[in-house]
Amino acid sequence: MELTFKKLTPEICEDFLRYFDIPRPAKTNHEEFDSCYCLESHLTNDENERITDKNERREKAKQLIQQNIMKGYLIYCENDVIGWVNCGDKQSFIPLNEYDEFFTEPCGIGKIKVLYCIDIIPEYRGKGIAHKIIDVVCADAKAEGYSFVEAYPFSDTSYEWQYHGPIKLYENHGFERLAEKSFFHIMRKKL
Q: What share of the chain is helix, strand, coil (3-state, %, to 5)?
A: 40, 25, 40
Q: Which residue has the higher pLDDT, 91 or 29?
A: 91
Task: Report pLDDT digits (tens) over 37-50.
Answer: 999 889 988 888 88
Q: Over 90: is that where the pLDDT of 74 sits?
A: yes
How far apart are the C-alpha atoms of 118 and 186, rounded to whole Å?
Answer: 16
Q: Over 60: is that where the pLDDT of 104 sits?
A: yes
Question: Which residue intervals of 1-152 are DSSP H helices?
Answer: 13-21, 25-28, 45-50, 54-66, 94-98, 129-143
20-34, 35-49, 55-69, 123-137: range with lowest mean pLDDT? 20-34
The partner residues of 113 in beta bridges, in order of sequence, read 89, 149
pTM higher than 0.85 = yes
What pLDDT score was predicted for residue 35?
Answer: 74
What pLDDT score was predicted for residue 26?
Answer: 47
How far apart are the C-alpha atoms of 169 and 130, rounded to whole Å?
Answer: 8
The 3-class SS string of 50-75 reads: HCCCHHHHHHHHHHHHHCCCCCEEEE
If you average pLDDT over residues 57-68, what whole number do you get?
95
- CA dihedral over 164, 168, 170, 176, signed as positive or negative: positive
If you average pLDDT over residues 162-189, what whole number do you get?
92
Rounded to whole angstroms, what are the CA distances from 69 to 91, 134, 184? 10, 20, 24
73-106 per-residue burial string, b: 16 or more CB within 10 A, e: under 16:
bbbbbeeebbbbbbbbbbebbbbbeeeeebeeee
**DSSP H or E run through 120:** strand 112-120
Task: Report pLDDT digits (tens) over 76-101.
Answer: 999 899 999 999 999 999 888 888 88
